[in-house]
Amino acid sequence: MGDVTVCLGFDFDAVSVWIHGYGAENSPTKLSRGEYGATVAVPRILDLLDELDVEATFFTPGHTIDSFPERAGDVHDRGHDVQHHGWSHRHPGSFESKEAERADVERGIESIRDLTGEKPSGYRSPAWDFSTNTLEVLRELDFEWDSSQMGHDFRPYYVREGGSADPDEPYDRGEPTEVVEVPVSWKRDDWPPFQYVSGADSQGGAPDEKQVFDMWREQFDWMYDHVENGVFPLTFHPQVVGQAPRLRYLESLIRWMREKPGVEFATIDSVAQRF
């Protein structure tokens, strides 16, 4: 790997994010936004990644794999890494029991195994957060890494267990486990700045979309100059970044990062394995 590693991650939620994030079972328009991600956006993204010859990680809910098997198959066949993102894209804290949460994770593993022939090594929570049971479930099911937390910006670290955040006591961080964390950031995610959702609490919709990509370029440049062996994870949603002219801006950003000496693009799995 290079001195600096860029991890392009695509949360391939398709329709699942609308069902569980926005209760859209009866909203054909919202569901169609998810369909767009699978049917229109992903092919464009795969073509761009082919053209630039970079490998990415696709966090793909089992619901997406089982709903759009050909498209998920394209992602795998064209050389990208498919990793776990729940089966149902439910918030881990919304399950009524640990058993129910574990069953959803296991169902997601089976969808990926059917697609790739292999068990996923990594997990990204659909909510970018854990329940009180998630870490235990991941360890029981032999996950090697997670990519949902925010304890660093540009370096992997070990997920901790057994801490407590009692409001009346000093914070106890707990002890590190063997599960590697490759952290994410809302500031390196396309959904918050771009995705307008009618009636939702927080409204995306950047007036100057290029400015968002410029912000990511500035973040990358800062890391490049200040963090030795930095890791730069970016999160995109096909249904968001696949829209014009965002893919053009993404292409420029990738070319910008790639032109710097010592920069390599890698999957999140390979970063976690190296750590």
* Cβ 85 to Zn ion shortest distance, Å: 6
Contact 75, 12 (CB under 8 A): yes
Is the bond preceding residue 207 a cis peptide, omega within 30 degrees? no
Does 11 participate in binding Zn ion (rule CB under 5 A)? yes
Distances in whole angstroms, Cα of residue 64 to Cα of each of 29, 61, 93, 207: 18, 5, 21, 30
Q: DSSP letters of 166-220?
A: -TTS--B--EEEEEEE----GGGBSHHHH---TT-SS----SSHHHHHHHHHHHH
Nearest CB to Zn ion, comparing residues 13 and 257: 13
Task: Convert residues 120-159 into a mask of x (bound to Zn ion by CB under 5 A) and - (unbound).
Answer: ------x---------------------------------
* Cβ 242 to Zn ion shortest distance, Å: 15
Total residues at interface with Zn ion (CB under 5 A): 3
Distances in whole angstroms, Cα of residue 75 to Cα of each of 19, 115, 272: 23, 10, 21
* Cβ 166 to Zn ion shortest distance, Å: 31
Q: Which one of 9, 10, 13, 95 is in contact with Zn ion (CB under 5 A)?
A: 13
Nearest CB to Zn ion, comparing residues 92 and 126: 126
Nearest CB to Zn ion, comparing residues 14 and 115: 14
* Cβ 122 to Zn ion shortest distance, Å: 14
Q: E-assigned strands of 128-168? A: 145-146, 157-161
Nearest CB to Zn ion, comparing residues 34 and 230: 34
Contact 237, 14 (CB under 8 A): no
Does 190 participate in binding Zn ion (rule CB under 5 A)? no
Nearest CB to Zn ion, comparing residues 62 and 230: 62
Does 101 participate in binding Zn ion (rule CB under 5 A)? no
Residue-wise over 116-154: b if at least 16 C-beta within 10 A, else e?
Answer: beeebbbbbbbbbebbebbbebbeebebbbbbbbeeebb
Site for Zn ion in 60-89 (CB under 5 A): none
* Cβ 214 to Zn ion shortest distance, Å: 25
Nearest CB to Zn ion, comparing residues 13 and 269: 13
* Cβ 165 to Zn ion shortest distance, Å: 25
**Dist. CA 185–CA 16, nearest whole Å:** 21
Residues binding Zn ion (CB under 5 A): 11, 13, 126
